[in-house]
Amino acid sequence: MSKSEATIKRLKRIEGQVRGITKMLEEDRYCIDVLHQMQAVKAALARAESEVLKDHAAHCVEDAIRSADADAQREKVSELIDLFDKLKR
């Protein structure tokens, strides 16, 4: 199974968790239980995000570095800096 297939599988699992949270709210389940499930979804999404970032660094950024194309290298570094800036917010 490729990394993208594994990430897709993980995201589908998260999708199911979100549907479960919706059902919990529809059933008027205890708020703390709902919040625990929301925290689990956030953690799972963060793990998926990390995998996509690792894949990007391992392929896209590495390819730009190997290419010796200074413009491509600057572009990939700029993308990463922008992403990390957004993560800080």
- Which pLDDT value is given to residue 84? 84
The CATH code belonging to domain 3-88 is 1.20.58.1000
Is 17's pLDDT higher than 90?
yes
Q: How far apart are CA 56 and CA 42, in angstroms?
A: 21
- Span 58-86, pLDDT tens digits: 888 888 888 888 888 889 889 888 988 88
